Amino acid sequence: MIIWLNGTHGAGKTTTSALVQALIPESRVFDAEKVGETLMDIRPGLPQTDNFQHWPPWRPLVVETARHVLDYTGGTLVIPMTVLVEPYWREISDGLAAHSIPVRHFLLHADQETLHGRIENDTDMGYSTFRVRHLQLYAEAYESWLRNEAEVIDTTRITAAEAAQRIAELANN
C-alpha cells in the first residue's frame, strides 16, 4: 500500500511522514522529490521549467520506483509529496492502480495564515519565496479538486504527531 501525504509547503508532510512511518510496521518513506532531483542532474539539462513535476518522465518514474520498491520490500510506502496539478495526480494514481497498488491519499491542510507563518518561521529550511508562491496554487487546487480527492487532515491546530496518529489509524481501517 501507499500512503500519499499531499499538501503544500508548510503543511507538515516531511515531519508527519517520518512519524507515520514509525507507527506502521514494515513501512518506509519514499521521497519522490529525489526522482525530480535525479532528472535535474541530467546533462545537458532537460527543457527549462520552474517545477520538475512538469517534466513528463517524472510521473511515470515515481510510479515505477514505488512499484519496484514495493515488489522488493512489501509493506507500505509513505510518500510525502505535493501534487497540485490534477492531471498529474490522475497520471500517478492511475499508474499505481494499473499495478494494483492501493493508495490512501491524505491531504495535510492548514489555513493560509498558518501556512505563511510556518514558512516564514521555518528554522530548518528558512524562508523561501518558492514556497510562498505555491500557497496560491495550493488554494486553487484545494478549492477546485484536491479536497474532494483526498482525506483531509487539518493540521492548523494539531501537532504532526496527532496528524500521524490519525493517518495511521485511518490507513489501518
| Cβ contacts of 74 within 8 Å, gap of 6 or more | 26
Tell me the per-residue pLDDT of 3-55, one tens digit each, with 9 for 90 and over: 999 999 889 999 999 999 999 999 999 999 999 999 999 999 999 998 999 99
Span 122-134, pLDDT tens digits: 877 777 788 888 8
Which pLDDT value is given to residue 122?
80
| Structural domains in the chain plus CATH codes | 2-171 (3.40.50.300)
pTM: 0.94
**β-sheet bridge partners, residue 153:** 108
Number of CB atoms found within 10 A of residue 50's CB: 8
Instruction: Identify the helix (H) or strand (E) that includes residue 154.
Output: strand 151-154
The C-alpha cell that represents 161 in the structure block: 504527531
Whole-number Å distance between alpha carbons of 55 and 45: 11
Count other Cβ atoms within 10 Å, centred on residue 58. 23
